[in-house]
């Protein structure tokens, strides 16, 4: 396929690309992560890299940033060969990566993080803290980052941490920054601010490689897009000339259907009117998160609990699953009160959880896909408290098939899976318990467009099987599959929408500019 984005614009001064990788191959044992892959990023360009889960994007990033050596291929920065493997300072002056998981150290101040290992000019000279602070202030000021350098990094928001990481990267001289799913933990306003800052930096000649499963963000921010599929480069094109369907087709290798996940659910009958209330949250008050919040989910229903970062929606979902003790109010399943603050009590009540952060609450990294997927159901894997490996494998293999998890096998350590496929294991594990009420917090985080439809359909099936699901998310795609969406703002329910809402309405409500009257009261809307 022709690369329509590689020719220089008329009149442009042709300079060597900030980064150019050709013929890159990388294997992990039997898995081919990259096969003769390539990418070229021009100066000041914002270039998107997209592809399905496991396509090889993160592997390319680790090659581009000097974390992994490719088996074959060449890499050049601004026309020069890449530094020697392991020469960290030299790599840092050419490229930096801002990951979804921060590399900032929470216990150190912002200034210390910025100048980590370079606090003083020589190892023998004592660190001058006042100087360090001033240098940090200057650096942050230069890039317009409004953060106090003496604050401990753990007190920063996700957004502030990203800005500090970007400023740090630029201070090493890098003019090429890789952003690996930087918007995953930001709300709509945070994303706007990040994009504004990136555009500013782009005008100053900084180039970006932007990885995201949110294709709209690619259209909003990037000029060029490269698509990888099954470890190989498929296409590079100008974003402006490429329709969304064409882009999805390049990613999946299939002709794109117009049926989205939400359309499929919309076609299915809505939850039967008058069906019983399965989950009831009444007057829930959680310290620092919400006050007097009520909602209910009926049998057969998928309810969304929407809200921006500070809305408290995630904490409500977590409280329902037993992770927080309530200061007031009640959670009940099928009419029976569930003790809050106790995960075993929630599990016993039939509540399953897809947690927000798979790294912290989700997976045991060095254990296999099979073990991780079955952690919650060991009682079903053998008699008298034993776990039969064959039964574990069979159980896991079914899940791998059901959720389309891309893995060499059930025995592969979960750490060897791509991010999106790890997320599918987390969802598989929650589904394994066959929960009466599934609480899924941002369940499609890091999951590609096609797999997203798949996962959401699976969650819908929980409700379809006479159970109920609560999807806690600010992702419009996640919310669209819901029968109803309750929107929270600053700890309160401020609006409720039935199916068929418009994106602008939902975004406005999440930002506290609700066009609908506050109406999340279950008494009015529950039946
Ligand atoms: N350390 C590793 N050991 C074994 N296999 C690995 C390792 N890292 C990645 N892989 C495999 O290489 C392939 C490419 O993975 P990669 O993480 O690059 O995909 P990705 O495109 O970034 O996916 P995602 O969108 O899910 O993050 C996958 O099949 C993955 O399982």
Asked if residues 471 and 415 have their Cβ atoms less than 8 Å apart, the reply is: no
Q: What is the pLDDT of residue 527?
A: 29
CB burial of 13-50 (b: ≥16 within 10 Å; e: otherwise) equals eeeebbbbbeebbbeeeebbbbbebbbbbbbbbbbbbb
User: Which uninterrupted H or E stretch holds 480?
Assistant: helix 476-480
Asked if ipTM goes beyond 0.95, one says: yes
Contacts 24+ apart (CB under 8 A), 99-103: 99/180, 99/181, 100/180, 100/181, 100/182, 100/184, 100/185, 100/419, 100/446, 101/359, 102/158, 102/161, 102/162, 102/165, 103/165
The closest alpha carbon to 516, from 527, 526, 504, belongs to: 504
The closest alpha carbon to 467, from 432, 431, 436, belongs to: 436
Q: What is the pLDDT of residue 377?
A: 62
Q: Is 312 in the pocket of ligand 1 (CB under 6 A)?
A: no
Instruction: Look at the alpha carbons of 391, 397, 400, 406 in this order and tell me if their dihedral is positive or negative.
Output: positive
At 264, list the tokens.
Answer: 């499929």
User: Which uninterrupted H or E stretch holds 168?
Assistant: helix 158-171
Measured in residues, the chain has a length of 527
The closest alpha carbon to 256, from 239, 275, 243, 270, belongs to: 243
Q: Is 422 in the pocket of ligand 1 (CB under 6 A)?
A: no
The alpha helices in 299-448, defined as continuous H runs, are: 313-320, 343-348, 369-374, 389-402, 419-432
Neighbours of 90 (CB within 10 A): 14
Asked if residues 410 and 397 have their Cβ atoms less than 8 Å apart, the reply is: yes
Q: What is the pLDDT of residue 335?
A: 94
Establish how many alpha carbons lie within 13 A of residue 404's alpha carbon, considering only the half-sphere containing its beta carbon.
Answer: 15
Secondary structure string (H, E, C) spanning 31-52: EEEEEEEEEEECCCCEEEEECC
Give CATH 3.40.50.300 domain extents, the chain: 19-102+173-183+198-252, 261-350+435-525
| Chain position carrying tokens 């997203």 | 452
**Range list of β-strands (E), 43-92:** 46-50, 72-77, 80-81
Q: What is the pLDDT of residue 126?
A: 57
Report the distance separating Cα 92 and Cα 113, nearest Å: 15
Strands 437-441 and 328-333: unpaired
Nearest CA to ligand 1 atom 27: 419
Give rounded-to-5 percent helix, strand, coil for the chain.
35, 25, 40
**Range list of β-strands (E), 369-515:** 437-441, 468-473, 484-489, 492-498
Report the distance separating Cα 1 and Cα 235, nearest Å: 6
Q: Which atom of ligand 1 is nearest to the CA of 421?
A: 26
Q: What is the pLDDT of residue 171?
A: 85
Strands 232-238 and 224-229: antiparallel
Q: State in Å: Cα 209 to ligand 1 middle.
A: 18
pTM of the full predicted structure?
A: 0.80
Q: State in Å: Cα 117 to ligand 1 middle.
A: 31
The CATH class of 19-102+173-183+198-252 is alpha beta
Look at residue 178 and give its three-state secondary structure: strand
Q: Is 32 in the pocket of ligand 1 (CB under 6 A)?
A: no
Nearest CA to ligand 1 atom 3: 416
CB burial of 121-155 (b: ≥16 within 10 Å; e: otherwise) equals eeeeeeeeeeebbebbbebbeebebebebeeebee
Q: Which stretches in the chain have pLDDT values below 70?
A: 1-14, 117-128, 256-274, 359-362, 376-390, 514-527
Q: What is the pLDDT of residue 396?
A: 82
Q: State in Å: Cα 231 to ligand 1 middle.
A: 9
Q: Is 100 in the pocket of ligand 1 (CB under 6 A)?
A: no
Asked if residues 139 and 165 have their Cβ atoms less than 8 Å apart, the reply is: no
Report the distance separating Cα 3 and Cα 233, nearest Å: 11
Q: What is the pLDDT of residue 523?
A: 37
Q: What is the pLDDT of residue 289?
A: 92
What CATH number belongs to 261-350+435-525?
3.40.50.300
Nearest CA to ligand 1 atom 18: 56
Q: Which residues contact 204 (CB under 8 A, 6 or more apart)?
A: none
At 144, list the tokens.
Answer: 């317009």
């Amino acid at each position: 396929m022709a690369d329509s984005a590689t020719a220089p614009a008329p009149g442009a001064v042709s300079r060597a690309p900030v980064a150019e990788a050709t013929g890159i191959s990388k294997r992990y044992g039997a898995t081919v992560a990259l096969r003769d892959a390539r990418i070229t990023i021009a100066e000041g360009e914002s270039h998107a890299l997209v592809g399905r889960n496991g396509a090889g994007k993160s592997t390319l990033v680790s090659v581009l940033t000097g974390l992994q050596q490719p088996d074959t291929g060449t890499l050049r920065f601004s026309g020069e060969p890449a530094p020697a493997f392991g020469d960290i300072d030299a790599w840092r002056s050419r490229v930096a990566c801002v990951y979804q998981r921060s590399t900032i150290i929470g216990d150190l101040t912002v200034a210390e993080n910025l100048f980590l290992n370079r606090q003083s000019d020589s190892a023998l000279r004592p660190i001058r803290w006042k100087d360090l602070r001033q240098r940090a202030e200057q650096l942050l000021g230069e890039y317009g980052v409004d953060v106090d350098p003496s604050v401990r990094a753990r007190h920063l928001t996700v957004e502030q941490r990203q800005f500090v990481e970007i400023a740090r990267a630029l201070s090493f001289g890098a003019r090429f920054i890789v952003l690996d799913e930087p918007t995953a933990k930001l709300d709509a306003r945070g994303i706007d601010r990040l994009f504004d800052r990136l555009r500013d930096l782009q005008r100053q000649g900084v180039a970006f490689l932007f990885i995201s499963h949110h294709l709209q963000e690619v259209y909003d921010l990037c000029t060029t897009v490269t698509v990888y599929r099954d470890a190989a480069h498929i296409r590079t094109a100008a974003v402006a000339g490429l329709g969304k369907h064409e882009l999805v087709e390049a990613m999946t290798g299939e002709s794109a259907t117009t049926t989205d996940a939400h359309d499929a659910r919309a076609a299915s009958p809505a939850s039967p009117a008058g069906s019983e209330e399965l989950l009831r949250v009444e007057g829930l008050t959680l310290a620092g998160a919400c006050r007097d919040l009520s909602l209910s989910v009926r049998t057969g229903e998928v309810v969304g609990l929407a809200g921006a970062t500070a809305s408290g929606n995630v904490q409500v979902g977590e409280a329902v699953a037993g992770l927080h003790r309530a200061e007031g109010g009640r959670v009940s399943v099928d009419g029976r009160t569930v003790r809050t603050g106790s995960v075993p009590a929630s599990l016993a009540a039939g509540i399953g959880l897809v947690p927000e952060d798979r790294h912290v609450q989700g997976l045991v990294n060095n254990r296999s896909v099979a073990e991780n997927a079955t952690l919650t159901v060991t009682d079903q894997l053998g008699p008298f408290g034993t776990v039969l490996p064959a039964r574990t494998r069979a159980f896991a293999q079914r899940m791998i098939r059901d959720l389309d998890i891309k893995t060499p096998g059930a025995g592969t350590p979960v750490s060897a899976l791509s991010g999106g496929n790890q997320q599918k294991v987390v969802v598989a594990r929650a589904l394994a318990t066959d929960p009466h009420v599934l609480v899924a917090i941002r369940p499609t985080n890091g999951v590609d467009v096609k797999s997203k439809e798949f996962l959401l359909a699976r969650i819908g099936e929980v409700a379809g099987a006479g159970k109920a699901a609560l999807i806690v998310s600010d992702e419009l795609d996640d919310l669209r599959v819901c029968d109803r969406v309750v929107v929270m703002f600053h700890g309160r329910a401020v609006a409720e929408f039935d199916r068929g809402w418009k994106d602008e309405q939902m975004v406005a409500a999440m930002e506290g500019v609700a066009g609908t009257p506050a109406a999340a009261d279950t008494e009015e809307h529950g039946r």
